[in-house]
Chain A
């Protein structure tokens, strides 16, 4: 059976830490974007047209907000996957340790 192990214990631990941080932070960002937080207005990719062509303001901006929020949630999901992979790597590393000694 080919080994699924492709990174060392330190790399895997690093991956776990980053993915925990990523999941928490990106999920919270997603929540705040869907709550239309004013502080995050600078991170919403709106243009002059979005404001000018808005029939019932601020629906255009709100739509952008929720779209960024969805991006955040999906990215958080990606980090869940990264975390799961890293966890597997940690397990595999441990098992290999036992096998050697």
Chain B
């Protein structure tokens, strides 16, 4: 087979894609540079993708100088780990009962689940419910309201539908309980879809700031990185987007809220950056499957 010619059209495509890559990555690299640059030097402007006066000061401030920010980091990690683990356990367990065609309540339970994809109570009733349940300023407010999502359950169930029934039948012959079958056979065979949904759950947990804002603002122990970032952003926005207005508490030090803001941004981005490329294969399939089903 002869090699295809490299045409002008290919050149235009290549340049276009390079522009896409630059536009996507430049903001992250710029913020990375600012986060490693001396705060007073940054105020002079003109910083691109390399720091001019390298410093660890902004990160040191987060990890050594400030208990609240360190706590926020820990809370972000904790809610992500616990929220993902409980969420994936709940979704796979419910999905398994729904993948069992012989389950006597399959119809009604599926119905109850699917309706929630189309009807939602809305912001205020949900807020009042959380308050009535006593979840305000409680760690459980990060876990319980997000335990299940109909879309995820359906994606997992579709995957489980593809597992050959012979595998579970033989286990049943040997007298295995339904839970044993789920735990010992179904879970190990469903790892690709579990990886996909776990990624979505983890990203959702890690990125959530609004539940902290609405339900856990009063408890400083429950603050998260995203919420701290939101608060700094809010202060900047109050001054009409003028990023130069400093905060007196930092002026004497080697750093300022804007540089810390950039360091927090990097800390909040890096875990995602490390995880998603490796799960790409799975989520592309998961997404296509989900789209076809719905």
Q: A and B from one assembly?
A: no
B residues bordering A, Cβ < 8 Å? none
